[in-house]
Amino acid sequence: MKPFKILLYLLFLIAISSAQEWKGADEIAEETISELNPHYEPWFSPVFEPPSGEIESLLFSIQAAIGGFLIGYFLGRYDRKS
């Protein structure tokens, strides 16, 4: 019965943490900069901004998949040489 209680507690913690709003490092940095210097103006603008959050997530996952493939490829190639 004790492992079941531990599992239930962990699931509860996961449910609570997933209900929070997730922020990226860029959002946190932007908030911190605006708190420290309210008159700061960014000196550049994004070249491309995705039209929605779903497309942004898609592009991020494609980037992660390509990176994972490249890391796996080169690690496998290095392992085969040695």
**Chain segment 23-80, per-residue pLDDT in tens:** 778 788 888 999 999 898 888 888 888 898 889 889 999 999 999 999 999 998 887 7
Q: Which residues contact 33 (CB under 8 A, 6 or more apart)?
A: 40
What's the CA gap between 79 and 31, in Å, rounded?
A: 44
Please report where in the chains the tokens 């490829």 appear, as a residue: 73
Say what the pLDDT of residue 68 is: 95
Q: What is the pTM of this model?
A: 0.51
Give the C-alpha distances (Å, rounded to integers) separating 12 from 3, 20, 21, 53, 54. 14, 13, 17, 27, 27
Q: Is the dihedral of CA 20, 60, 49, 36 positive or negative?
A: positive
